[in-house]
């Protein structure tokens, strides 16, 4: 007898009616945003949630909270501890703390200073086997013991679902809750919250599908073959089937499913079998660049610093005219193909060929900015 591999929103109670008013009654709502990268820099989602924090705080004020994992070194350097402004949140935290699970509250020291609720995964790890059983009973997804990241995601999700259950009990309907989950690592919290019928509205955002990342890194013609992949087989061969199931279950459990681009929406429709309800593109806060004279001054100062760095690096054994130099930059996670470094290098090679053929005296200096583990300076360079 085949197992049903994931829940769906239609199989759960609590489908929400459409909101008919022009404005949400923010004063009657609490908004929670859940991500593995809250006050915890791993990849690009850290930048996404950090850059939109001020706009959200301006609109929601003290009714906006971010939730993620607690790491001591991050908390000490990025968060200022304080008391929650809402008594129900304090009571929900205390319920977990009295059961041996550590929860920390504070303001994230970024623009906007949003409140953060951070859960100590290590303090709750003794519950892992029981919570794995809960996940299996809920949606028949089993997690292998050796996948530390998936196990940590389950612990975080179980703590968040537990916290939200306590919170809604203490609120007694005085405030409604919206909870926004990012990526598969936050998925268990959404799945468990919905299966336990916690009364709240849920949003799930995928920034790129999990399997899509693996397939692209595997040097396949991904977008031209989206409809031809055997999804279960591909996920199984890459030993991420359980992660894929978590992601897909979260997608189908959420009231609203979003992606960050139209191409990701097409990808999600094929791989996760649900068309996003809305595309919410990542953006830049351009207001900080509105004073053009300040921006131009900053540009000239930074360009002079870059020129000084280049002069110190190359002059003496490779001299060139800095006034006829172009500076190119590529930045991102240290993934050669997923972040386009391979295409960038190929384009530089072609540009270099054309400059030599046409005997052009232009110089191009390229910076690759990709964080990786380092032990010391490279003395030779």
Tens-level pLDDT at each residue, the chain (381 residues): 344 445 665 566 665 666 666 677 888 899 999 999 999 988 888 989 998 999 999 999 999 999 999 999 999 999 999 999 999 999 999 999 999 999 999 999 999 999 999 999 999 999 999 999 999 999 999 999 999 999 999 999 999 999 999 999 999 888 899 999 999 999 999 999 999 999 999 999 999 999 998 988 777 888 888 889 999 999 999 999 999 999 999 999 999 999 999 999 999 999 999 999 999 988 766 666 666 677 788 888 999 999 999 998 888 888 889 989 999 999 888 888 878 899 999 999 999 999 999 999 999 999 998 887 777 766 665
Supply the pLDDT for residue 299: 85
Q: How many Å apart are CA 189 and CA 115, to the nearest integer?
A: 19
Q: How far is Cα 24 from Cα 368, in angstroms, rounded to an integer?
A: 44
Query: What pLDDT shows up at residue 8?
Result: 60
Q: What integer pLDDT is reported at residue 317 of this predicted model? A: 81
Strands (DSSP E) contained in the chain are 29-34, 64-69, 79-81, 103-108, 115-119, 176-182, 201-206, 256-259, 278-279, 325-331, 363-369
Nearest to 251 by CA among 1, 10, 3: 10
Q: What pLDDT does residue 172 have? A: 87
367: β partners: 329
Up-side HSE of residue 281: CA atoms within 13 Å toward CB?
6
Whether residue 108 contacts residue 114, with contact meaning beta carbons closer than 8 Å, is answered with yes
- pLDDT score, position 3: 41
Write down the pLDDT at residue 17: 65
Which residues 6+ apart lie within 8 Å of 24 measured at CB? none
Supply the pLDDT for residue 126. Answer: 96
- Looking up tokens 């990268």 gives 37
What is the predicted pLDDT for the residue at 370?
Answer: 86
């Amino acid at each position: 007898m085949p197992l049903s591999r994931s829940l769906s929103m239609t199989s759960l109670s609590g489908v929400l009616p459409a909101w008919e008013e022009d404005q949400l009654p923010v004063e009657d709502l609490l908004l929670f945003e859940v991500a593995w990268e809250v006050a915890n820099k791993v990849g690009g989602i850290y930048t996404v949630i950090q850059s939109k924090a001020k706009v959200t705080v301006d609109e929601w004020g003290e009714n906006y909270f971010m939730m993620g994992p607690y790491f001591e070194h991050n908390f000490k350097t990025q968060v200022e501890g304080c008391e929650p402004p809402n008594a129900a949140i304090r009571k929900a935290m205390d319920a977990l703390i009295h059961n041996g699970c550590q929860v920390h509250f504070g303001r994230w020291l970024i623009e906007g200073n949003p409140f953060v609720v951070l859960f100590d995964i290590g303090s709750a790890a003794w519950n892992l086997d029981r919570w794995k059983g809960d996940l299996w009973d809920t949606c028949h997804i089993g997690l292998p013991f050796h996948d530390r990241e998936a196990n940590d995601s389950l612990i975080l999700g179980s703590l968040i679902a537990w916290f939200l259950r306590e919170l809604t009990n203490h609120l007694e309907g005085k405030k409604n809750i919206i909870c926004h989950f990012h990526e598969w690592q936050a998925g268990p919290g959404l799945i468990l919250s919905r299966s336990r019928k916690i009364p709240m509205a849920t949003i799930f955002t995928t920034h790129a599908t999990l399997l899509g990342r693996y397939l692209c890194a595997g040097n396949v013609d991904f977008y031209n073959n989206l409809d031809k992949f055997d999804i279960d087989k591909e996920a199984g061969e890459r030993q991420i089937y359980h992660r894929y199931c978590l992601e897909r279950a979260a997608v189908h459990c959420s009231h609203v499913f979003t992606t960050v681009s139209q191409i990701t929406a097409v990808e999600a429709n094929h791989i996760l079998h649900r068309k996003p309800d809305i595309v919410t593109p990542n953006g830049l806060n351009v207001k900080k660049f509105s004073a053009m004279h300040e921006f131009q001054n900053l540009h000239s100062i930074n360009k002079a610093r870059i020129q000084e760095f280049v002069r110190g690096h190359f002059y003496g054994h490779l001299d060139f005219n800095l006034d006829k130099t172009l500076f190119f930059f590529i930045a991102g996670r240290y993934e050669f193909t997923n972040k386009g470094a391979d295409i960038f290098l190929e384009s530089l090679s072609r540009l270099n060929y054309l400059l030599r053929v046409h005997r052009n005296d232009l110089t191009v200096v390229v910076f690759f900015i990709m964080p990786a583990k380092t032990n010391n300076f490279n003395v030779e360079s």
